[in-house]
Chain A
Amino acid sequence: MKRQLSRRAFIKSSANVGAATLVGGHLLGTISCHPGGESGQKPSADTSIVAAVTGEDRYAQTVKAIEVLGGMKCFVSGGDRVCILPNTQRNNPGAFTNPDIVRAVIDLCAQAGSERVDCLSWLPRESWESTGLAQAAKGAGANLKLVDGKDESLFRAVAVPRGKILKEACLMELFFEYDVFINIPITKDHAGNKFTGTMKNLMGLNSPRSNRTFHTGNFKNDNIEHLDQCIADLNTVVAPTLCVVDATEFIITNGPFGPGKLHHPEKVVAGQDRVAIDAYCASLWDLAPKEIVMIAAGHEHGLGEIDLSRKDLREIVL
């Protein structure tokens, strides 16, 4: 019953704010259409906060970061179906989300009363197993839902009305079954556009065929502005309820696959503002957020704040 209410609440709130472009708003936690937000079942999270917790214990850092945001109950209610999206790129050091961070998120969801937590991915099982993420997820009671990325029938075409380049996304059909979406990328170097974090990780929900259109031509004349604008456009229709970013140890060369030079900020970063989180993570290895086209484009779309001085940045050392 709650879900139906949430869906109606989404439609109502979407109409009110003109944000009807957000996909499956019942599961996508924007400020205006947070599940349960209107029914008062969740305490509201402070969206201005970006929490960055430094330490050595990834699990404890994650718990602390989410606690700083108000706790997982701000994002997950009893009975919610939760979808999580870690980055399982490759088992090379610093190229995939630390399994302890994922484990902590799953545990916190369970403690908040989630009905179930599923990891959603079209990457092969091998990627999940070789990174230890499959074992971590299963051990914490989550389910691994692997979708064949080549089977177009498993994806749903979604219009991107605000897209400057991307006019249609193609999201996993399964994605529409959830109430809450938690994005858990690792931030790192990326050969395609220099930086990856929360916004680019959403390509993991979009079909490989659609992702291919983010690149122009035949790779001999690829265009970074085109790629990054498509990523920002995709983000206008998918808004994570919560982002938890692994910025503990990551590659700053040869990304996203590695092996590459490792950087060790030892931080877990969490919040709801994707642009601000990406801007913060870029700054951890001296990248200027405004020079990352994707971050600037996300800001232009109104997805978040690029100027960190306008955010409530809570840096904590455990």
Chain B
Amino acid sequence: MIEWGENRSGSPIPMACLLIALAASLTLCQCGSEGVTPPRRAVAFDFASYLPEISLLDQWTPDRDPRLYEGEDLFAFINGGAEIYHEYGFERVIVQEYKKGDGKITLEIYEMDSPKAAFGIWSLKKGAEGRRLELSGRGVLVDYYAHLWKGPFLYTLTAFDESEETMAGLETIARAVDAATESGSDVPAIADLLRVEGLVEQSVVYMTGPLALFNCQRFFTGDVFESSEIVKGDYECGCRVFAFAYGDALKGEKQFGKVWAEFRRSPDFSEVDVEGGVLRLVSAKGRFIQFCRAQRYLLLLLSEGDGKAVASLRTALVERINAAF
């Protein structure tokens, strides 16, 4: 048991010990070095290659040592909230706090196992609101926080007050991390499938599993769709579309049958009709659903009404997918 002031085993890897191996040449030496516990890594971790140049931070300085959490140790940092990162494919997170006067900003650098995974967690975290930041990567500022995607990284910046100076500092740090990351990456191809007229670009969310889907929209509590590539987009007509990818058209067809059966079994949905391979349902909340297959994708359109606009959107999406094949 640990009482006040004691150290804790299983603490994140502290900067101070790593500095011994890194030598004083690192610019990060200006960080403090309290709370030292033995590092678990045999090889020193190069924080400097992840963190922005301090000279670019307009006098925002590190408030304490950066911390590193890798693999399942993420639970030590995000107790109870780590699952979603792992579903996308989590490698490590570096956490660094900055201060300037009374202002405080936290930078979290999540390294995912691929640019697609980073795009996915970024698209989920940023939400559909917020102001786009002018960066070479994709950045969105929402209220007191910002999310930036570039390459395999998700950068999350949190301001602890909304003063002009702190919010300006948040953008300064965002620009610095953007500059420190070498290159961006393309959006996953499946996200392009939704790009037909009326798509609200900022609403696109890329998912790789049931947890992200559940966070986006509740259809079932289990993994009924069994897809590891899902994309969601909202449209100006008020319709929300989900596209689920499968290995090939045959797998898509098979899954279509399974999901169809689950919809029919669930008390949360009532079937309206089936026409031309399109299952139409009404949810318990009175929302209309159109569910169909196109090539190796399943399409689900969710809307308040069931009018022509939804049918036109479905036709446009199916045509786009067919054209791609």
Q: Which residues on A are within 8 Å of B, measured CB to CB?
A: 89-93, 123-125, 138, 143-151, 154, 174, 190-194, 196, 200, 203, 208, 211-212, 215, 218-225, 228, 253-262, 291, 293
Contacts and interface: CB of A to CB of B under 8 A. Distances in A.
12 contacts: A89-B79, A89-B80, A124-B76, A145-B3, A146-B2, A148-B1, A190-B80, A193-B214, A208-B75, A208-B79, A258-B158, A261-B127
B9 interface: yes
B87 A222 contact: yes
B55 to A, nearest CB: 27
B99 interface: no
Interface string B68-94: 000000011011110110110000000
Q: What 10 pairs between A and B have smallest CB-CB spacing?
A: A259-B145, A219-B86, A257-B81, A191-B84, A146-B2, A224-B221, A259-B158, A225-B221, A257-B78, A256-B81
A123 B11 CA distance: 10
Nearest to B223: A221
Contacts of A222: 83, 87, 209-211
Contact of A259 (B79, B144, B214): B144
Which of A147, A208, A211, A212 has the largest count of B CB atoms less than 10 A from its CB?
Answer: A208
Given A148-B9, A222-B83, A224-B222, A259 B1 contact: no
A312 B144 CA distance: 38
| Interface SS majority for chain B | loop
A150 to B, nearest CB: 5
Given A191-B83, A208-B75, A124 B1 contact: no
Contacts of B218: 194, 291
B81 A255 contact: yes
A164 B223 CA distance: 20
Interface residues of B, number: 40
Interface of B: 1-4, 6, 8-11, 75-76, 78-81, 83-84, 86-87, 125, 127, 129, 142-145, 156, 158, 160, 208-211, 214-215, 218, 221-223, 228
A175 B28 CA distance: 42
A220 B214 contact: no
A145 B78 CA distance: 20
Given A190-B80, A191-B83, A191-B215, A147 B158 contact: no
Contacts of A148: 1-2, 8-10
A125 B214 CA distance: 32
B8 A93 contact: no
B223 A123 contact: no
A196 B167 CA distance: 30
Nearest to A261: B127
B85 to A, nearest CB: 9
Contacts of B10: 148-150
Find the residue from B75, B218, B221 having the highest chain A CB count within 10 A: B221
Given A123-B79, A144-B4, A150 B223 contact: no
A192 to B, nearest CB: 5
A260 B4 CA distance: 31
A124 B209 contact: no
Contacts of A196: 80
B211 A192 contact: yes
A259 B156 contact: yes
B80 A256 contact: yes
Given A90-B78, A254-B127, A293-B221, 12 more contacts: A93-B160, A125-B8, A146-B2, A148-B8, A151-B9, A191-B84, A200-B80, A215-B83, A220-B209, A225-B221, A257-B78, A261-B129
Given A146-B3, A261-B127, A93 B142 contact: no
A147 to B, nearest CB: 6
B2 A147 contact: yes
A75 B322 CA distance: 66
Contacts of A293: 221
Nearest to B228: A220
B235 to A, nearest CB: 21
A191 B221 contact: no
Nearest to A172: B1
Contact of B81 (A151, A192, A219): A192
Contacts of A259: 144-145, 156, 158
Contact of A150 (B4, B9, B86, B208): B9
Nearest to B145: A259
Contact of A93 (B87, B144, B209): B144
A208 B2 CA distance: 16
Contact of B80 (A124, A147, A203): A203
A7 to B, nearest CB: 23
